[in-house]
């Protein structure tokens, strides 16, 4: 398939990789596995490219693909085909320079996966409940309850960590 | 439900998380395309057509009539069956290359016919992933109707299920001439706890390999030594199915290694990752070095091949038999997401490579598209050619392996994965007319006189 269609795929994916990495990073909370997830998603996208390129909202289509890949249990086994060689972990965060964002990210990674996906899509991506429901393949009611549980979990984790919210946030 | 004030708070809180990972991207578009092609081919698209059973096509003029003439001295050997073939139950273990060992008859086959292998429980799909050097034992897995995976062993064409613990994903990877098979199965609940466990199977009994909690077994030789890993950074060899594993040594500067195959004399081949070169470099991916561990305890990298006049930047080795190692090499480790010009050329820069690990000779095979899937005692190879067809590559010829059904355009509907020492038995997979993967064995013979 070294043709116009493949060229189109390469162009599209090239442009979307930064956005997909951001989403994957939010969902999995680990750089290596985030790239893993993006790699799997764009592989699936290649397989389905002929259908996908006809989608009304290709970005949304691919985002859904990534989230569902993340939530698919079987992916865990599939990922054993180690797509990447681990690179050394980034330098540890220095105590005096801890950023709120890093704390939030770390605690978010401890929220159960489905709840985390709901929080990420609703609050990081500002997606409405019904769209999140479509992405996750569940009802709007489930999204709402997962939101509620996810927020409760996140708050509890942040409190345990002694995270102090900025006044503006309270 | 959270009230509106809380929602706004959380929105601000979570909305601040918009940063990209700090490390360089290791997402590889060309790899996605290559993997995608394979997956597409394996899953297939429904297509119609009669089964082409004995299609024989020979690429290039090399074969024509010259095959027998070029190897006249070996014709006489055909009548003598190799020891391993005649006594599969308890083969004599002899190190290839030593005095008592002889290479089985080596008249390169000129034509191959295919047979579909039976699948336990009539599962809709299955594939072969490994074989012993005689080709009488085959291992692989099926895809049962109910979902999931089922490890399978075939002996002389008869299929049997192998019940590995765990119901997530499992596979038998290799088997030796005594019918001892190795593989892995995923066990555990939840993301953090799930991982592969290495298993050995013999005569109806499954045992976990000792010494590791997690890991995988990838290959076993006729002496019963097993190569694998600990699901971490270490390459392992189990001298036997009941022995504690040996951690293969790494040279200075290496961060991790994998052991991918073990030769009859205990030589292990694998891939080593060089540390220090992988951080935030423009190249994106840590280069890998093809590596060999000899049974005497010495170890060294295999030489990097030259591709289009340039020394390869990265290479890996997947299999070894009788001193022939197969793998791939690439000019470039580049994988960054940026769509620089030349992006599309990158896949083409990856080449199939064969090493002779005894004399360090290295050769690039332009006829193969991805790197060979298996090699045998003669260094013959099976793999996929640049047109996506399954092929057997001998010293003198390329034999195209027939498909089970009319293949869809683009090829890769048929993938060979094993090659016997005598070159007469090849096993693998081919899509049926509905696009389902079927386990296949090809029987090959020399051209009729």
CA distance A56 to chain B (A): 23
- Would an 8 Å CB–CB cutoff place B191 in contact with chain A? yes
- The correct CATH number of A1-90 out of 3.30.450, 1.10.1740, 1.10.132, 2.60.120 is 1.10.1740
CATH topology of domain A95-170: Arc Repressor Mutant, subunit A (1.10.10)
Q: Is B19 inside any structural domain?
A: no
Asked, for residue B409, whether it belongs to a domain, the answer is yes
**SS3 assignment, position A23:** helix
Cα B59 to Cα A45: distance, rounded to the nearest angstrom: 33
Instruction: Report the C-alpha gap between A72 and B181 in whole angstroms.
Output: 30
Is B13 among the domain residues? no
Q: Is residue B155 a part of any domain in this protein?
A: yes
Q: What residues have CB less than 8 Å from B446, skipping those under 6 apart?
A: B67, B68, B78, B107, B108, B109, B110
The phi and psi torsions of B137 (rounded to 5 degrees) equal: -100, 135
Cβ separation of B13 and A76 shorter than 8 Å?
Answer: no
Residue B97, in any domain of the structure: yes
Number of Cβ within 10 Å of residue A35's Cβ equals 29
What's the pLDDT score for residue B338?
30
Residue B4 lies inside a defined structural domain of this protein? no
Distance of CA A58 to the CA centre of its chain: 17
* CA dihedral sign of residues B89, B90, B96, B98: negative
Query: What parts of chain B have a pLDDT lower than 50?
Result: 1-6, 8, 44-94, 191, 277-285, 334-348
Taking the CB of residue A130, how many other CB atoms lie within 10 A of it? Answer: 11
Q: How many residues does chain A have?
A: 170
Contacts of B291 in chain A (CB under 8 A): none
Indicate yes or no: CB of B17 within 8 angstroms of CB of A104.
Answer: yes
Residue A170 has pLDDT above 80, yes or no: no
For an interface test with A, the pick among B33, B183, B344 (most A C-beta atoms closer than 10 Å) comes out as: B33
Q: What is the tally of structural domains in chain B? A: 1
Structure tokens at B151: 């490890």
- pLDDT score recorded for residue B449: 62
* Residues with Cβ within 8 Å of residue A153, at least 6 apart in sequence: A110, A111, A112, A115
pTM: 0.60
Interface test with A, best of B8, B26, B170, B289 (most A CBs within 10 A): B26
The DSSP output letter for B385 is B
To probe the interface with B, which of A18, A25, A27, A77 has the most B CB atoms within 10 Å? A77
- Judging contacts by C-beta atoms under 8 Å, the chain A residues touching residue B22 are 31, 90
**Residue B99 confidence (pLDDT):** 53
Residue B150: give its domain's CATH number: 2.130.10.10
Task: Evaluate whether A122 touches A147 at the Cβ level (below 8 Å).
Answer: yes
Residue B327 structure tokens: 């793998």
Q: Answer for the pair B59, B400: CB distance below 8 angstroms, yes or no.
A: yes
Structure tokens at A34: 């985030």
8 A C-beta contact, residue B416 and residue B392: yes
Question: Inter-chain contact B27–A46, Cβ cutoff 8 Å?
Answer: no
Distances in Å between the alpha carbon of B56 and those of B29, B400, B420, B423? Answer: 35, 6, 20, 16
Q: How far apart are CA B310 and CA B364, in angstroms?
A: 12
Greater model confidence, A67 or B278 = A67
Residue of B262, B285, B206 lying closest to B30 (CA atoms): B285
Window 313-342 of B: residues touching A by CB (8 A cutoff) are 337-339
- A78-133 pLDDT, tens per residue? 443 333 333 333 333 334 335 677 778 878 887 888 888 999 999 888 888 888 98
β strands within B294-376, DSSP E: 299-301, 306-307, 310-311, 314-321, 324-330, 350-356, 361-365, 374-375
Token representation of residue B401: 């392996």
Rounded to whole angstroms, the Cα distance separating B411 from B54 reads 17
Domain boundaries of chain A, sorted by first residue: 1-90, 95-170
Listed in order, strand segments (DSSP E) in chain A are: none
Q: How many CA atoms lie within 13 A of B246 on its CB side?
A: 15
> Domain containing B218: what range?
27-445
Strand partners, B399: B58, B392
Question: Terminus-to-terminus CA distance in chain A, angstroms?
Answer: 55
DSSP B265: T
Fill in the DSSP letter of residue A34.
H
Do B307 and B351 form a contact (C-beta atoms < 8 A)? yes
Distance CA B117, CA B434 (A): 17
Cα of A102 to nearest chain B Cα, Å: 8
Half-sphere exposure of B277 toward its Cβ, with a 13 Å CA cutoff? 16
Task: Of A60, A46, A88, A95, give the one whose Cα is nearest residue B278.
Answer: A88
């Amino acid at each position: 398939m070294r043709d116009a269609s493949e060229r189109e795929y390469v162009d599209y994916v090239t442009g979307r990789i930064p956005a997909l990495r951001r989403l994957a990073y939010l969902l999995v909370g680990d750089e290596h596995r985030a790239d893993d997830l993006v790699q799997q998603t764009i592989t699936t996208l290649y397989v389905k490219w002929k259908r996908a390129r006809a989608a009304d909202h290709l970005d949304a289509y691919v985002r859904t693909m990534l989230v569902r890949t993340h939530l698919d249990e079987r992916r865990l086994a599939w990922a054993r085909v180690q797509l990447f060689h681990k690179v050394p972990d980034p330098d540890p965060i220095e105590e005096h320079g801890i950023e709120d964002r890093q704390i939030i990210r770390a605690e978010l990674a401890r929220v159960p996966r489905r709840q985390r996906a709901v929080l990420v899509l609703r609050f990081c991506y500002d997606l409405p409940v019904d769209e999140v429901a479509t992405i996750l393949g569940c009802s709007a009611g489930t999204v709402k309850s997962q939101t509620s549980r996810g927020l409760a979990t996140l708050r509890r984790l942040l409190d345990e960590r002694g995270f102090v919210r900025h006044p503006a946030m309270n | 439900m959270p009230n509106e004030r809380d929602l706004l708070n959380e929105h601000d809180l979570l909305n601040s998380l918009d940063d990209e990972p700090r490390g360089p991207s290791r997402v590889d578009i060309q790899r996605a395309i290559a993997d995608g092609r394979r997956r597409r081919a394996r899953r297939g698209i429904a297509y119609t057509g009669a089964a082409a059973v004995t299609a024989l096509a020979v690429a290039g003029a090399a074969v024509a009539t010259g095959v027998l003439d070029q190897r006249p001295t070996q014709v006489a050997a055909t009548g003598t069956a190799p020891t391993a073939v005649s006594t599969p139950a308890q083969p004599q273990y002899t190190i290839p290359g030593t005095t008592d060992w002889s290479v089985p008859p080596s008249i390169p086959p000129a034509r191959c016919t295919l047979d579909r292998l039976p699948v336990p429980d009539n599962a809709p799909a299955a594939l072969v992933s490994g074989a012993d050097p005689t080709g009488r034992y085959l291992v692989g897995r099926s895809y049962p109707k109910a979902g999931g995976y089922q490890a399978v062993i075939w002996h002389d064409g008869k299929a049997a299920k192998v019940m590995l613990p765990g119901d997530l994903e499992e596979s038998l990877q290799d088997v030796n001439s005594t019918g001892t098979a190795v593989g892995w199965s995923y066990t555990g609940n939840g993301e953090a706890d799930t991982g592969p466990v290495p298993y050995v199977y013999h005569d109806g009994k499954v045992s976990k390999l000792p010494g590791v909690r997690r890991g995988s077994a990838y290959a076993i030789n006729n002496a019963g030594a097993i190569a694998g890993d600990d699901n971490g950074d270490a390459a392992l060899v189990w001298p036997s199915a009941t022995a504690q594993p040996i951690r293969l040594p790494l040279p200075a500067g290496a961060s991790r290694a994998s052991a991918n195959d073990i030769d009859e004399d205990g030589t292990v081949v694998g891939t080593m990752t060089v540390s220090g070169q992988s951080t935030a470099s423009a190249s994106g991916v840590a280069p890998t070095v093809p590596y060999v561990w000899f049974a005497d305890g010495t170890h060294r990298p295999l030489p990097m091949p030259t591709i289009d006049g340039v020394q390869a930047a990265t290479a890996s080795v997947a299999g070894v038999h009788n001193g022939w190692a197969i793998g791939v090499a690439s000019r470039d480790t580049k994988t960054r997401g940026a769509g620089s010009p030349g992006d599309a050329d990158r896949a083409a820069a990856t080449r199939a490579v064969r090493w002779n690990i005894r004399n360090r000779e290295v050769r690039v095979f332009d006829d193969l598209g991805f790197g060979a899937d298996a090699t045998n005692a003669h260094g013959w190879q099976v793999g996929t050619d640049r047109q996506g067809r399954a092929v057997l590559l001998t010293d003198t010829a390329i034999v195209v392996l027939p498909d089970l059904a009319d293949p869809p355009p683009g090829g890769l509907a048929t993938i060979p994965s094993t090659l016997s020492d005598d070159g007469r038995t090849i096993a693998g997979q081919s899509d049926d007319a509905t696009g389902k993967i079927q386990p296949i064995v090809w029987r090959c013979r020399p051209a009729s006189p």
